[in-house]
Structure 1
Amino acid sequence: MEETKKKGLNTSSNSYTIIYSVVIVVIVAFLLAFVSSTLKPQQDENVALDKKKQILAALNIRDIDGAEATETYNKVITADMIIGRDGATIEKGAQGGTEAGFLCNSASMKEGKLALYVCNVDGETKYVIPVYGMGLWGGINGYIAVNADKQTVYGAYFNHEGETAGLGAEIKDSRAWQDQFKGKHIFVDGKSDVALSVVKKNEVTDPATQCDAVTGATLTCNGVSDMLHTCLGEYSKFLTSK
């Protein structure tokens, strides 16, 4: 009788290659999921810190990092409210709040849930309003700080997802460009339509409500104007109330 040959794993077969590939993919996917879940708390913390710094930047509080930014936010932000389009309070928020208006986003605004940060800066009341829009290459967003009169801008900060460096990116990178919003009026006296805009320098007709556009970034600046009109318009009942 012929001796029976032992059968081993045929490493050159198609089935072996497929099984091996599947096992490797499963292992890699598991490792990626594990790393992602492990890092997520830190990632969420970093995102929240960046948001706090942007809100503070609109209040002209800049160049602070980490614990100092969090401490300042907790001190300056007296409530992260949520209001409706009618100006009525939906949620009161809290001192240094991160559980009410802080969690709102552009989708919340479309639903009529408007984040409103009530602030105390050197004993004076300020309000910070988030704004969302589209630039030339992607989303743009920011925060507008308003004085207690609800009519004049105290400060502004803008961000973008992918505008051209040296052009549209200037809405984020140029503090001087953002600073020109200080003291501008949101409305023309006696009117409830948002007038705050960005226009070409040679097209400015109302310096009280208009800011100069970034040279060579017309579409991005048009996006900023549209963003201001649309988002601040959502708050018009609040901003025009006494």
Structure 2
Amino acid sequence: MNTNSNSYTIIYASIMVVVVAFLLAFVSSSLKETQYKNVEMDTKKQILAALNVYDVKDVDAEFTKYEIKDMLVQPDGTLAPNDGAFQTSYKGEIANNRLHVFECNVDGQTKYILPVYGAGLWGPVWGYIALDQDKDTVYGVYFSHAGETPGLGAEITTVKFQDQFLGKHVLENGIVALGVEKHGKVAKPDYQVDGISGGTITSKGVDAMIKDCLSMYNSFLTNK
């Protein structure tokens, strides 16, 4: 075959495309389990962060230490073990009314961790809210985002912002009152925290996320 012909060039390019595509598919398939495991470990670290546990080296050991159990809210507000796979994203789970609660033990006290998911200025925001055994007092929180502005909306990931939630209460007369108020405008200090100065839309997104998601847990939160 004439290696200078158009036919040769087209055939050669086609073969190379097929070979490269096969190799990429093979590599992707080979690494899929490892990739999932890494995402699972990162999700578990986020859950632990809501318990104020950071810099974890052995995630599974910490989950065992705190006896963390993946549970699902039942129609009557009680909890039952999740028999399905461990999830690494809770947007679809919450939308489908599969409400996860991570039940755990901290120094002999039961804590409950609830996943939340919403939208910020530039993309999704999400997090975990840990509650005391009374299902009303915040023990810890963790928030993250996909693309909020550094120095502004991205500040939701900082300890300074998250620590404001410690000791706040979730329900006021059976309604979710926990949330984020405009910076300097907190009217209910038992329930609200200061938003981020210059990050108003992200702050509103976090506020809506908390209220929308926790409201779906009402049967669990009010089941004493």
Report the TM-score when normalising by structure 1. Answer: 0.88
Amino acid at match of 2:14: V
CA distance in 2, matches of 1:57, 1:11: 61
Aligned partner of 2:122 in structure 1 is 137
CA distance in 1, matches of 2:86, 2:210: 19
Amino acid at match of 1:120: N
Please give the residue correspondences for 1:48-87 in structure 2 after superposition, counting only pairs within 5 Å.
Answer: 48-65=40-57, 67=58, 69-84=59-74, 86-87=76-77
> Is the counterpart of residue 225 in structure 1 residue 207 in structure 2?
yes
Aligned partner of 1:237 in structure 2 is 219
Classify 1:112/1:101 alpha carbon distance in 2 versus 1 (closer, same or farther; 3 Å).
Answer: farther
CA distance in 2, matches of 1:135, 1:77: 32
Classify 1:54/1:78 alpha carbon distance in 2 versus 1 (closer, same or farther; 3 Å).
Answer: closer
Q: How far is 1:104 from its partner?
A: 6.3
CA distance in 2, matches of 1:181, 1:137: 24
SS at match of 2:71: strand
Report the TM-score when normalising by structure 2. Answer: 0.94
Point out where structure 1 has 5 or more consecutive residues left out of the alignment: 1-8
Aligned partner of 1:211 in structure 2 is 193
Asked which structure has the greater RCO (Cα within 8 Å, sep 6+), the reply is 2
Classify 1:101/1:31 alpha carbon distance in 2 versus 1 (closer, same or farther; 3 Å).
Answer: closer
Q: Select the residue among 178, 181, 203 that pairs with 2:162.
A: 178
Amino acid at match of 1:182: L
Runs of 4+ in 1 over 6 A off after TM superposition: none
CA distance in 2, matches of 1:167, 1:77: 36
User: After the TM superposition, which of the residue ranges 15-24 and 133-142 deviates more from structure 2?
Assistant: 15-24
Q: Select the residue among 196, 205, 209 that pairs with 2:178.
A: 196
Aligned partner of 2:107 in structure 1 is 122
- The answer on whether the counterparts of 1:101 and 1:117 sit within 8 Å (CA) in structure 2 is no
Amino acid at match of 2:137: T
Q: Select the residue among 32, 39, 44 that pairs with 2:24.
A: 32
Amino acid at match of 1:135: G
Cα RMSD of the aligned pairs, angstroms, is 1.6
Superposed CA offset, 1:23-53 (max 9, x none) = 0111111111111112112111110110111
- The answer on whether the counterparts of 2:56 and 2:62 sit within 8 Å (CA) in structure 1 is no
User: After the TM superposition, which of the residue ranges 148-157 and 10-19 deviates more from structure 2?
Assistant: 10-19
Amino acid at match of 1:53: K
Amino acid at match of 1:47: V
